[in-house]
Amino acid sequence: MALRAATLADVTAIRALTRDAYAKWIPLVGREPAPMTADYKAAVQAHRIDLWEESGELLALIETVLRDDHLWIENVAVAPARQGKGHGTALLAHAEALARAAGRGETRLLTNAAFTANIAFYERLGYAVTAREAFPGRGTAVFMAKRLAP
């Protein structure tokens, strides 16, 4: 897996990949999930976004934010044709390595409660549900965390 840091020149590709990756959830929740409407110009400037490309094609990405006591995973997006092939797992392992390198012993993220496949995926990777919170007009957010071995 060869990753590179996103730049402002990547904003259009990031937005397109994220929209494609999350489009399958629209029928389930009746709206565009939050990552589909995010401001990726601001995100590239404020967060770390690592891009996974092959032959010039953006296949997947992970957006992270280093916090005082953990690494926050803001977004994991994988091109629909690549979903289920280990890209998400590899990107989450990358995030865990970033957290360890920064001296953080935990990664955290959230997903929509309606995305039960995502919750099961994260649980298989060692994440545990830490909280559920209702978001008006957006359903229920499921907060998850994974303690990392040193």
Q: What is the pTM of this model?
A: 0.95
| Domain-wise residue ranges, the chain | 3-107
Q: What is the pLDDT along the chain (150 residues), one digit of tens a residue?
A: 789 999 999 999 999 999 999 999 999 999 999 999 999 999 999 999 999 999 999 999 999 999 999 999 999 999 999 999 999 999 999 999 999 999 999 999 999 999 999 999 999 999 999 999 998 778 899 999 999 987
Q: Which residues of 10-44 are buried (b: 16+ CB within 10 A; e: fewer)?
A: bbebbbebbebbbeebeeeeeeebebbebebeebb
Q: For the domain with range 3-107, which CATH number is right: 4.10.520.10, 3.40.630.30, 3.40.47.10, 3.40.50.2300?
A: 3.40.630.30
Strands 71-78 and 128-135, sheet pairing: unpaired
Phi/psi of residue 85, nearest 5 degrees: -115, 15
**What is the C-alpha separation between 146 and 139, in angstroms, rounded?**
23
pLDDT at 73: 98
Strands 106-112 and 71-78, sheet pairing: parallel
Element (H, E) at 93: helix 87-101
Placement of tokens 């298989």 in the chain = 124
